[in-house]
Amino acid sequence: MPLPANLTRVAETHLANLETLSQAALNALALAIRAGSTSPEAWRDAVANIGQDLLSLQSQAAAQADGYVTAALTAQGASPAADAAVNSAGFTDLTDGGGSWLRNLIFAPNSVVGQALVEGLSRPAALARGQMVANSIVLTGMQDVGRSAVQTAMLTRPTAKNYVRMLRRPSCARCAILAGRRYRALAAFKRHPRCDCIHVPAAEDANDWVTNPVEYFKSLSTADQDRIFGKATARAIRDSDYSQTAMNQLVNARQGIDMVTTFGRQVQITRTGTTTRSTFGGYEVLEDGTFRRRSDSDLRRTGYRQPRVAKEPRLLPDEIYSLADEFGWDRAEVLRQLRRFAYIV
């Protein structure tokens, strides 16, 4: 079942509050961009001029945490009593990866602009690239602090045992496969830059919440499925009869992409899922769909004390469909190949 309606309202109100603060930060940044486009020194001064405003907005984002977690636990009939309060000021000028938020905002866009000019881009194009980086830094910094403060608020409340990941539609493929997953309160929140998913604090007995990523996928139009997940990945999910296992494998495979020469041609492969800890890396899928553990001769090491990986390259779904078009494979053969490379089971 989905999140209870009253809890969904609490989470959506919290998210709306954070989005209002994030938009205010982006508005302040827009003023700095106009003032600081002439030189690196002008950009530094422009960021300094809005610095206190940005830090104040970041502190306000952190200050939402106690009220949100209290409301979420109350909506579940659990005690919201806390052993401590979140110190919102302690979260200012922080980034999820460590370091100063404002310092990153000063130096990273300047570095990107300089590199773009070296690559031969025009100054307007280089500035546009730097502005995109600046926007990402500001938005990610606001979102990360909001989530970090919520996780801290959860840890101060004995009844907040877990959290569930809530998507903000439209969500990217990486976030979609994590939709509705339950994590321990101590578990880190997996995110990418500009990720806008949030924690929903869960009391210990809230075990019947289920959010199915496949249902999210099905709710999208075919065009949106192709745009968000990529045409080949979306097609493979549909061909797998919307298997959630296949969906996870297909989306994760988009990481670690490489081009190699194998099977007598250049093909796109993925290095994700090729270690012996994974299905493809550990097992060869036979014609009848059963698994046979790979022998030592089928494996190699990539480094000292590193896990062994399969010698056989793992084709991306894009390559499987390209080969299907080239050789006229029918649906049964395409499914066999998707199974061979452990995208479906």
Stretch 291-314: mean pLDDT, rounded? Answer: 82
Instruction: Examine the domain organization and report whether 207 and 227 are in the same domain.
Output: no
Please tell me the predicted confidence (pLDDT) of residue 18: 92
- Of 211, 244, 276, which residue is a domain's last? 211
Amino acid, res. 217: F
Instruction: Examine the domain organization and report whether 192 and 282 are in the same domain.
Output: no
How many domains does the chain divide into?
2
Does residue 345 belong to any structural domain of this protein?
no
Instruction: Examine the domain organization and report whether 68 and 140 are in the same domain.
Output: yes
Instruction: Examine the domain organization and report whether 202 and 260 are in the same domain.
Output: no
Q: How confident is the model at residue 177 (pLDDT cuts 50, 70, 90)?
A: low
Instruction: Examine the domain organization and report whether 266 and 325 are in the same domain.
Output: yes
Residue 101 CB burial class (10 angstroms; 0-12, 13-18, ≥19): buried
Please tell me the predicted confidence (pLDDT) of residue 212: 65
Instruction: Examine the domain organization and report whether 156 and 277 are in the same domain.
Output: no
Percent with pLDDT over 70 in the chain = 84
Instruction: Examine the domain organization and report whether 193 and 133 are in the same domain.
Output: yes
Instruction: Examine the domain organization and report whether 219 and 272 are in the same domain.
Output: yes
Does residue 130 belong to any structural domain of this protein?
yes
Please tell me the predicted confidence (pLDDT) of residue 208: 43
Please tell me the predicted confidence (pLDDT) of residue 69: 93
As given in the structure block, the two tokens for residue 66 are 């106690």
**pTM of the full predicted structure?**
0.65
Instruction: Examine the domain organization and report whether 26 and 77 are in the same domain.
Output: yes
96: domain range?
5-211
Stretch 61-90: mean pLDDT, rounded? Answer: 90
HEC per residue, 160-173: EEEEEEECCCCCCH
Question: Look-up: residue for tokens 């056989």?
Answer: 312
Q: How confident is the model at residue 206 (pLDDT cuts 50, 70, 90)?
A: very low
More confident residue, 25 or 283: 25
DSSP assignment of 234-252: HHHHHHTTS-HHHHHHHHH
User: Cα separation of 252 and 273, whole Å?
Assistant: 8
- Of 211, 243, 271, which residue is a domain's last? 211
Instruction: Examine the domain organization and report whether 138 and 198 are in the same domain.
Output: yes
